Amino acid sequence: METGTDTQIIVIAAVPEAATPAPGLVTTGLTPPLSPGDAAVVAAAALADTLEVVAATPTARRVLALDGAPGAWLPAGFNVISQRGAGPGERAAAAFADAHAALPRPMVLIGADTPQVTRGMLGDACASLESGEADAVFGAAANGGFWLLGLRRPDRSLLAGVPMSEPGSGRVLLERLAGDGLRVALAPRLTAVSTFGAAEEVARQIPASRFAATFTASASGLSMA
């Protein structure tokens, strides 16, 4: 069996709306200096790059837990489910539960604010769950949050009340995983696109990406204003 073919990958995201970017789902840390419209365009590019990597990664099933309606931008091969819950933690927990109900296999969940993610990172996370070496996989974000969570089965209590991509949320989640007695494998630490400065750093890491081109164009508009 090829690594990844027994694990499903879930991307949790919102359709970037220029008028009303959703806190915790579409990056609002870019505004200011970017306008809400430009921030939404940059977020859309980050989502597109993320979906492209997931589409190229061997997996049992690709799931997009979406706040909003899918459009022509969605690549083929994704199963779209609607987000449920009052906050980011509840919505992530619901995405795990809904994906597992449709296919009872291990799951790796990521957001759309780490467009530098690679097939290798996702493949390693899947392999850790499939091999039985780990019950969970945790990917810390540089801002103190987390960008990846892999679980063999859903557990709403792990995510209840945990904010996403905020200082301290990663520590809280990691402590909960350990407190539950789960064996945790660690994914690489990544910078999430949570601020303008973070977006600059990520754009430098992946200069040939759609995200970098879009962000650079938006940032260039600032210098010309």
- What are the angstrom distances between the C-alpha of 214 and each of 43, 44, 124? 9, 9, 29
Q: For position 52, what pLDDT does the model report?
A: 97
Query: Among residues of the chain, what percentage have pLDDT more than 70?
Result: 90
Mean pLDDT of 191-201: 94
In degrees and rounded to multiples of 5, residue 72 shows phi and psi of: -65, -15
Residue 165 has pLDDT above 90, yes or no: no
DSSP state, residue 221: H
Work out the average pLDDT over 59-68: 96
Is residue 196 in some structural domain?
A: yes
Is residue 2 in some structural domain?
Answer: no
Residue 3 has a pLDDT of 58
> Which of these ranges, 10-24, 67-81, 133-147, 201-215, has the smallest mean pLDDT?
10-24
**C-alpha–C-alpha distance, residues 144 and 128, integer Å:** 23
| Domains identified in the chain, total number | 1
| Cβ 150 vs Cβ 126: under 8 Å | yes
Query: Model-level pTM?
Result: 0.92
Q: 81 lies in which domain range?
A: 8-224
- Answer yes or no: is pLDDT of 223 > 90: no
Domain assignment present for 3: no
Residue 1 lies in a domain: no
Q: How far apart are CA 223 and CA 160, in angstroms?
A: 42
Q: Is the pLDDT of residue 22 over 50?
A: no
Q: Which CATH number do you get for residue 106?
A: 3.90.550.10
* Residue 17 within a domain: yes
If one compares 47 and 1, the residue with the highest pLDDT of the two is 47
Structure tokens at 150: 């892999």
Strands 78-82 and 107-110: unpaired
